[in-house]
Structures are given as structure tokens and as C-alpha cells.
Structure 1
């Protein structure tokens, strides 16, 4: 790895390290050990990539096993982008971005087939390429996989073999290296590589809805077909779902680049060459009529072209070809698959005819953005299945998850809904489903009827008795009456002073130096480690400045201890402070919270207890107007520069008592507001679901109308 590809910019370092661009600038300014620039390009500093990676690993900001493959991918993506520039790597410009991706994946596949290094020791550059061509001819004599890509390598392409060797070694294998390349496909500047890529959650949903694993367990063999395979995302999802079972795969892809990528992907992942057939052609692959499972993506069309589109003729042909026990899962535009189609459109009639066949098992409306590079594309799934006497005769399952992300939990619940629906001996009318509702097909074939249904009731909803709700609301009313009783009068006991004496101030930094306060850093908590369940609350800028509820974000205790061994929980009475995006403090009375960077902790030390209490410190920080320190041109933005007033100890004690009384009254007000919200919400819900009614009686208490 040498030349221009060995150099990396600040923004590329940020992408490599998985941080924001300003973080790298901070590292460079704060840490003397950060690598110095190797050269500049029009004023832009460039660094040796190897030195940067070593620094990230040595300082604990990256793991070598994960960042080494990313470094090689950075090299490859730089080469791909430089091919279209007027300056760059010179002799390497003969490879276009498409050629580079094809050559890289072909070399990975060749390494997998003969298990030999791509650039052996002692070979000159020209001998390396000649040897690669000979090996390709021997390993792929019929040119199904890689022979043409390697024969097209220029004579001076030995550098690429060296980079791919390093990538395979860093990724711990050819399969992992291949997936690394495909995961970074958007960085190579070839849109057709990534525009229609299937995200893992969608691929898993389609595969598990197809029942491919159950079919293989039952019959010992399963045949899978994909008529629009792309780079093989759905085929690979089926391969992983099957575990030890060896599938037979039929696929087709009209784009030769994508088709050959998919072929190599299957081979690298251990699918034997005799158990798959991937045609470079449009339409259904040969042999697919016998497939037990069909995974199908309708080709993307822009919105203006979908007006006259009728995919249901192709789906009807697919449905007729299904033998008993066979399943097809189809992904396509929601506008056609679930939308309210006008009766004059041919697609409306074709859709109704397909519904009437009784082969449509389930229809699922998916969330927007399921195709990352087509964010405005709304999509849906159809599950087609042939059963001799289906349990769902005359009905279809409708599910709508368009209002939530397609998480693993949502996928699992959808699969359970459909799997129990199709199970032999199942009683659909007695099954509680998470997202799907059964609907009569006759009700869906009326004009302009969308294929959506109200989300099904949960077990709690179905067992809810109106009399129980009435009793619980009576308890709510009684608690509201108690809260409305006369309360003790609140007295602040403040008075005006004749001689105005402003309290002296001292910076937080000075208070820390004097031993009155301790200023502690928060921890950078990864977003995927935070959820709604867990032992410890996570508190940061969302809670302090954005109105998020304290305790809404949580982290598991064991995960926190394992992944953040240097981090510490708060102590009762700590004051959490952030200056980003604005200054805000919060008194963590119970403690045992995780502080999310850039939030920090102000802890009152024994020598500072006559100057501050946790409540007093919180309100004093929140009252600070970000003064300009003496001699400063700009207002203070650093927390340590903020000036806090120093009140007399007697005033501190009295202010703390006042704040405690105010907090108690505020808690009563919050409780009353929560009860009023709950009362109105449950009354409306009971009236709309038919479990409650409002009887005649005296008017509810409230303000007298004018």
C-alpha cells in the first residue's frame, strides 16, 4: 500500500474511526502523539494511513481486527474515486470503478478456490499477473465466475493482488472479506451496486416468511429461486437461515456485473457449484418452476412510471406455478401492492383477481426508507402460498408496520403471526397476533379499498372489562380529589435589602482547585448499547436540554461494566451539567446513573458543603448567564470558566429548604397533570372501543363558564 492511497484526510480518518469530523480535529490538537501530516494537498493535511490506524489502536479508539479491513477498503475506494479524476494514481487509472470492484471480488474468489496467496513472495509484478491468469483459467475454465475479470487485469496490477491479500488476512477469511467489500459498495461510486441492495432486516423477514427452514427440516431438501437476484442479498439470507441444510438455488439477473458478483458470492460462502444456477438474463430463471421457495423483488420504477404498471400478471403466473406447500414472497411498491387503486386501472382488476384465487396468504406494509438509497420509496410484501385446503380459506392476513422501524423484534413478531396462521389445525379466530389482522377477501375487492387493516387488539385489550376501567377511573377521581384539598401555604420568606450587595463569584475551575467541587467527565456510550430496558438510566443532553424523560434511556448493568470499565455511576446528590447545545444542570437525587458525554458531573466535596447543596448548585448553574471572564473577548463556553455566586452559608441552608418545598409542590402538580391526562385518555379510549359510556349526572367539576 503506497502512493496516494497511503494518505488519508481528516474527514476520511473520521469515517475510518466512526466519529464526527470535529472529533478528529480535537484529537490532533489535544494529543501530541497524533501523527503529523505527511504532506498537504492545496492546504489540506494528509496523513499516513498506517500511522493513523496504529495510533487509533494504541489509544484504545479502535480494535485492530475491525479497523484493518476498513483500511484496505479505504485504499480500494480511493482508487475507485481517483479513476475519474484528472490527477491521482496514474498507471492505475486503467481500471474503472466497475473494473476495480469486479477484479477485487474475482481475486477474493480465486483465493477461496485454490487457497493460495494472490501475490507469492519472489514474483515480479508482471509474473504475478501472468500467474493469476493461469490460475483463473484452471479454476474457472468455463468463465462462470472470474476468468474474464482476471484476464482483463493490466500487466501492472500486482499492487491490487497485494491489497486483496491484506484484506483477506485482516478480515480473517475470504467470505468475511467479500462481505466487507459488499458492505462498502456505496463507496466505490457505482450506483447500480447499491441502489437496490436489500437491508439485512428485510432479507431476514422475506426469508423467514417463506418458511424455507421449515421446508428443509420437513423434506430434507429445499429449492430456492430469485428471479431478480442483484448481488445475491436474498439468496445469502436464505443460505444463512438454512444452517446445515444445503439448498438448491435458481436465480437470474439481467445485469452481468451484478450476476457475476452474486455467483462469486455464493461460491465464497461455500455453496457448491453444482447446487446453484444463476442465469444472466431477465425474467424467471430456468428450473425455477420447481422451486419450493421463491424470493422476488419487483424491479424499481420511478413514481411517474408506476401509474400504468401492472405487476400482477407476473405474480399470477408465479402463483399458478406454485405446487402444494410451495411459497413465494414478493417485495414491491406499496402504491400497487397495498394502495387504494382506482377501478379503471388494470392493476386494480389484476390485484382483485389474484386475491380471489385464495393463494394470497399475507400482505405486509413496510416502513418507509427500507431501501436506504431510495428513501422516498414506500414498499410492501405479499406472501403467496399454495395449500390444498388452506386454513385461511376466504381470508387474508393484513399487517401494517409502516409506523415503526423494522427491528429484529418486529420481524420476529410478523413471522410468528404468519407462521401460526398457516399452521395445520390452527384456529385463526382464536389467535392473538402482534401486527396482523385477518380480513375477508370479499371485503378487499371493493373499489378503492386499500389492503390495510386496523392493528389487532392485544391480549390486554381483549380481556379489558369496562367495569374494571370504571373502578380504576374511580380511584383516579378519588386521588384527584385528595390532591385538590387545601394545601399548606408556601412561604418564600424573602425580603428587600436596603443595601444592595451582590454575591461574590468564583469560577468552577477555582472551586475545583480549592477542593469545594469535583468536575468529572461523562462516558461516550454507543447508541446500540442504550435501550428502553436496563438497570441504570443514561442521562445526557437529550434529557437535560431536549425534554426527554429521565430514565427513558437505559443500559444493562453487565454490559456497562464489560464495555465501559473506566466509567463510573453517579452518586446520590451529583449535579449533571451540559453546555451542549445549551447550558443546563440536573440534580440526580437517587444517583446510580450513567453520564452520557458531553455531559459532566459536578460533585460537592466535604469542604464545599457549607457553600452548596445539590439543589442550590443546580439552580445556581441554571441561573448563570454565561458571563464574560475578566480580560476575555468572548463569553465563556467552557464549563470550568462559568462563574458561580458564593452565598452565605445561612442563605444556602434557607434557599435549600425553599427549593425542597417548591420541588414537593411541583411534584404534586406533575402528579395531578398525569392523572388528568390519564383520565381523559382512558375515557376517550373506552368510548371509541365501545367498553364505556357516559351517563347522565351533575356536570364535571371545572371552571364556571362565563
Structure 2
């Protein structure tokens, strides 16, 4: 395993592993990082068994299944990406293990399952893999959730990086599949296939879009078979042409665009994805002239600039896509900049693409707007940065007025003061603290672990919330679903303290109870004999627990039961005051946005007279 392999296994970033290697102790215990077993081309390699044991003992990383995933990450030396994929295809199509097979065994079995040599027979004849590579493919399958997951692990691993290139993120593939499905709907879904020139991305897109593939590329066919994607051998007129120019130079991207747009038959649909720098952004000189000549054909009906971070190879660069329709003769294409969208709804994006293909000018678009192609042909970007669809507003201004009124009703309320009465006391000669570990041993509090909660099945109308909100993103479950999915999950009780240790200690008090807790968060439940309350405990954790410390070492100062009750009541007042202050800050932010939106829409004016606080009346013309 390399350092990057260890990062992939532990599900952390590469610099984190370097930090682990430089720190020989974990929470005060000597636990040195494993030593490399060999160095190849200046790259240190480590023993998978030692790495797994280190992760287990140290508790580092974010993968509780590291021991199960390690065989899939530990790639043997001398293996190649295409070789492993071919062997994986052999294993999937035959259903047999590779370990212990001979060259003749593999060729004979491949001939039985691929008699027409349309997939892998000739490649198997050319391969002479080592026993360690054969064992690795078997281990990869055993560690994966099926063939498609094994292929995904290969695409995200060391072999793919060594082959030169990294795949798109899952979010990018989902977005492309949504666009492709919208194109399929335009053509009339049934019997529509995805035609590709040999890019591996098309397999992932076809799998998510539930489309068959049309391709002569043997490598793509093998990947399709592994991913359970049907490959059509016969060409079809009802196919979407999918071309990926990701990673190509700017002139090569324009060459691909030229071939695609100019040769697109009437009524046929195509999708091109590549660098936004050449497909949508501002160009100059020869590149601008070439793009203009392609756009002048009129087959590009939609151009969409994607947000950053979708391409792992260059996460700071943006991609873009063209949706093309043969003989469309479009002089006002639809354009959208998804980088300017805060919350992208893929169904609305699909509707926009379908509307552009249908050249429907009478519908409302969520993200896309039309531009005059004539201006782009001369100079400037095809997709101006930040471009958004026009927003249709209601004829009446009452919506904007109500937003302002709702905010000012909060901001004009008198704010109750917060005052805590205190007086001097004799004090103590010795201030004593007790750790949570001591208190647990004395049965003054109990610790309960959270559970791994999958967001799948969560409901916006759910009443069983998952705490803490900062880690669970505020999801909730229907009570019946929560009981069926997580029957052993611990539920909170009123007054429980929910806490996390990393990345820094944080604690929250659950006053309602009945919630589930998502790991790694835990529950601190005070017993009836505890001499302090949950608010005090949470405040101490938030204010004094050192970063990187363990919960057993966190200390609570000793005080009398009466004083603890009084400080608990004071903290309750502070908590209420803080909540009210946050409510007012939210109202101020809402008021600011409502004023800007209302005036920008022409629905409000600040040229008004004050009547009742919080109510704004417009000037009334004389005689009306």
C-alpha cells in the first residue's frame, strides 16, 4: 500500500496520513506509524496487515470496515488497470474464481462464454498475469458489493491514477445521466440507446440512465458487462450520441465538437461534455473563430456550465456540456450556469433540457435562459458567468410586503433583558474537579453510543429526529420507519447531553427526548444522584474540553446541589436569551433580503410614510 492507498482505505485526505506518520503517539499512547516494507521508484509501500492493525489500534480514519476493504486497495506490483478489468470481466462472465487457474483454463473458459470474440477472448489469450494479480481480482470481488462496485473501486484507486486520469464524481455522473434521460424522453424513451465512441464515462452514465449502449469499443463492452449494462450490437437510429472530451486539449475539444455537430443527422440528439474553458467561456483568436463556426450551424440547443469540483483530476476547473439536435437551426440557444445555483434540483434541470430540445418558448425555465447567438459569434462567452433564468413574479406585491411585515414584527418586539443576580461568597481553599470517567464509575452518569444512520428512508415530515443536527444535517424519520430500520437504536430522554469528541469537543442538550443519535456522537445520561444538571455539563464541555482529548478526561467542578440547581436555572435563562437573539438576527437577515428582492422586482418602494411600527403604507394619490 502507498500513502495514497492508506488515505483511500481510511477515507481521509492524503496530508492526514502524512500527519499520522509524523506523530508517534495517539492520545498520549506511543503508537508509531508502520514502517515501509519497500520503496519502489521513490514511493514507500506498506504492509496492508500492519496498516489495518494500526488503524484498528489508533482508532484513526473514517472507515470502520477498513479490514474488509483492505484487500481491494492493496494492489500488487506489476498489475495494470486494463489487465485487472479484463480479468474482472472474465470472472464476472464465467462466475469462477481466478486463483489456481492456468493460462489454458482461462482461454478455454473465455472461448466458451465469448465464442464470437466480441468481448475478451483475444485479450485473455494475450494476458499472462501473475498469481498475485489473480488473487487480487478474487479479493477485490470478495471485498466489493458486486461487480459494479468492484469496478468503481478500481476507477477510484491506484491503478486508475497510474493509467493517467481520474473519473468524475458520483454527483457529476448523476447530473449527466439526468441530462441524457431528458434527451431519451425527447426521442421517446422506449428503445433508445446511448451511442459512444469509446469513453468509459458512458458506461456509468448509461447504467444510471438505465439505457443500453451502442459501441464497437471492446474495453467499453467489458466495462458494460461488468456494470450489467446491455450492449446493442446493431446500430439504431434512436440513439443518443455521447461524447466525452474531458482532459483533452482545447483544440482537440473543438475538433470533437466539430465532428459531432456537423455530422449530426436530422432529429438526432447528442451530448458533448468537456472543459468549460472552451465550450462556454470567453475565447480569443483562432479558438473563438472555430467555436463560432461550429455554433453557426445551429445544432446546439443548450449549453450548460457546470460547477467546480466534479472532475477529480482538476477539482478547481469547471466542465460544461452541449445538448445538440440535428437540423435544429437554433439562433437563440438556452444557456445556464449551474455554478451560480445554490441548491440544484436535477428534475428541474431535466425539464429545462427537455424544453430546450422541444424549443418550447412558452414554458417557464428554472435555470436556463435564451441568448442571442449573433452576439456570441462575434466575441464573448457562450454562457455568461452567473447567468440565470428570468423570474416571473405575481402581478400583486403582497408577497414582498408580507415578507417585510413578518420580519419587522420580530425586530420591533421589545427584547427582554438578561440579568443574573449574584453576591460574593466565602469561596473555597481548594477547587476540586471530578472527571467524567470518575462520575461514570460512581454511577452518576451513563454513556450510550450512537448508531450508524443511513439518510435513505429519511422523511421531511418525520418526527423522530437524528441528533446532533450539525452532523446529521437535520434529517428525521417516520416513527414506524425508524422502528423498522433501527430497532436497536438508543433513543434520547429529556435532559440527555449529546456530544462528539472530534474534530473538537461539542455538546448539546436534548430537552425533548425521543431522538436517535448518529455515530460517532454519544449520549451522556445523568442519573438521579448527579449533583449537576445537563446545561452545566454541556457548557463545560463546550468551554473547557481540550481539542483531541477523550471524554473520560473531561472534568466537572464540584459544587453543592443548591448551587448547581441555581446555575442550571441561570443557564436556562441564558439559553433562552441566546435563542431569542438568534431569532432576531434571522429576522434582520430576512428583512434585508426581502427589501432587496422587493425593490428589485419593482414590487416595493421605500418612499413611504410610517404609520404603525412594522407596517409600511404607500403614498396615496390625492383624490383616490
Map 1:448-597 onto structure 2 (within 5 A).
448-452=380-384, 454-456=387-389, 462-463=393-394, 465-483=396-414, 487=416, 491-497=419-425, 504-525=432-453, 535-540=463-468, 552-557=473-478, 561=483, 564-597=486-519
Aligned twin of 1:436: 368
Deviation at 1:444, TM superposition (A): 3.9
Within the alignment, does 1:615 sit opposite 2:535 as a pair? Answer: yes
Change (3 A) 1:41 1:161: closer
Aligned twin of 2:352: 417
Q: Is the 8 A contact 1:636 1:642 kept in 2?
A: no
Aligned twin of 1:381: 321
Q: 2:580 aligns with which of 668, 681, 686?
A: 668
Q: Is the 8 A contact 1:137 1:147 kept in 2?
A: yes
Within the alignment, does 1:399 sit opposite 2:369 as a pair? Answer: no
Change (3 A) 1:187 1:572: same
Change (3 A) 1:533 1:233: farther
Q: Is the 8 A contact 1:362 1:418 kept in 2?
A: yes
SS at match of 1:428: coil
Q: Is the 8 A contact 1:584 1:622 kept in 2?
A: yes
Aligned twin of 1:129: 103
Change (3 A) 1:696 1:359: same
- In structure 2, what is the Cα distance between the partners aligned to 1:636 and 1:242? 47
Change (3 A) 1:700 1:332: farther
Within the alignment, does 1:241 sit opposite 2:220 as a pair? Answer: no
Change (3 A) 1:130 1:517: closer
- In structure 2, what is the Cα distance between the partners aligned to 1:637 and 1:117? 47
Map 1:650-665 onto structure 2 (within 5 A).
650-665=562-577
For residues 208-267 of structure 1, the C-alpha deviation after alignment (integer angstroms, 9 at most, x for no partner) is: 53456437756x65464323x23x331453366355xx65x245xxxxxxx542232345
RMSD: 4.8
Q: Is the 8 A contact 2:436 2:552 kept in 1?
A: yes
For residues 487-531 of structure 1, the C-alpha deviation after alignment (integer angstroms, 9 at most, x for no partner) is: 4x6542311235655654333333333333333333455688889
- In structure 2, what is the Cα distance between the partners aligned to 1:684 and 1:192? 52
Q: 1:149 aligns with which of 123, 127, 136?
A: 123
Aligned twin of 1:368: 308
Using CA pairs below 8 Å that are at least 6 residues apart, which structure has the higher relative contact order?
Answer: 2
Change (3 A) 1:570 1:368: same
- In structure 1, what is the Cα distance between the partners aligned to 2:583 and 2:88? 63
Q: Is the 8 A contact 1:325 1:386 kept in 2?
A: yes
Change (3 A) 1:182 1:152: farther
Q: Is the 8 A contact 1:213 1:241 kept in 2?
A: no
Deviation at 1:645, TM superposition (A): 2.4
Q: 2:266 aligns with which of 316, 319, 324?
A: 324
- In structure 2, what is the Cα distance between the partners aligned to 1:235 and 1:336? 25
Q: Is the 8 A contact 1:575 1:585 kept in 2?
A: yes
Change (3 A) 1:478 1:14: closer
SS at match of 2:549: coil
Q: Is the 8 A contact 1:525 1:597 kept in 2?
A: yes
Q: 1:195 aligns with which of 159, 165, 177?
A: 165
Q: Is the 8 A contact 2:503 2:548 kept in 1?
A: no
Aligned twin of 1:87: none
Within the alignment, does 1:265 sit opposite 2:223 as a pair? Answer: yes
- In structure 2, what is the Cα distance between the partners aligned to 1:165 and 1:44? 21
- In structure 2, what is the Cα distance between the partners aligned to 1:412 and 1:195? 30
Q: Is the 8 A contact 1:537 1:552 kept in 2?
A: no
Q: Is the 8 A contact 1:575 1:614 kept in 2?
A: yes
Deviation at 1:330, TM superposition (A): 0.7
Aligned twin of 1:214: 185
Aligned twin of 2:620: none
Q: Is the 8 A contact 1:129 1:158 kept in 2?
A: no
SS at match of 2:414: helix
Higher Rg: 1
Deviation at 1:700, TM superposition (A): 13
Q: Is the 8 A contact 1:331 1:380 kept in 2?
A: yes
- In structure 2, what is the Cα distance between the partners aligned to 1:620 and 1:642? 9
Change (3 A) 1:341 1:691: farther
SS at match of 1:402: helix
Map 1:330-345 onto structure 2 (within 5 A).
330-342=272-284, 345=285
Aligned twin of 2:41: none
Q: Is the 8 A contact 2:492 2:516 kept in 1?
A: yes
Q: Is the 8 A contact 2:463 2:477 kept in 1?
A: yes
- In structure 2, what is the Cα distance between the partners aligned to 1:273 and 1:584? 52
SS at match of 2:425: coil
- In structure 2, what is the Cα distance between the partners aligned to 1:581 and 1:178? 34
Deviation at 1:437, TM superposition (A): 2.0
Deviation at 1:272, TM superposition (A): 7.7
Deviation at 1:415, TM superposition (A): 1.3
Change (3 A) 1:474 1:182: closer
Aligned twin of 2:524: 602
TM-score (ref. length: structure 2)? 0.76
Deviation at 1:143, TM superposition (A): 6.1
Q: Is the 8 A contact 1:111 1:117 kept in 2?
A: yes
SS at match of 2:314: coil
Deviation at 1:589, TM superposition (A): 2.1
Change (3 A) 1:365 1:533: farther
Q: 1:297 aligns with which of 232, 239, 244?
A: 244
- In structure 1, what is the Cα distance between the partners aligned to 2:506 and 2:67? 36
- In structure 2, what is the Cα distance between the partners aligned to 1:268 and 1:498? 77
SS at match of 2:393: helix
SS at match of 1:463: coil
Question: Matched residue pairs, number?
Answer: 586
Change (3 A) 1:298 1:507: closer
SS at match of 1:462: coil
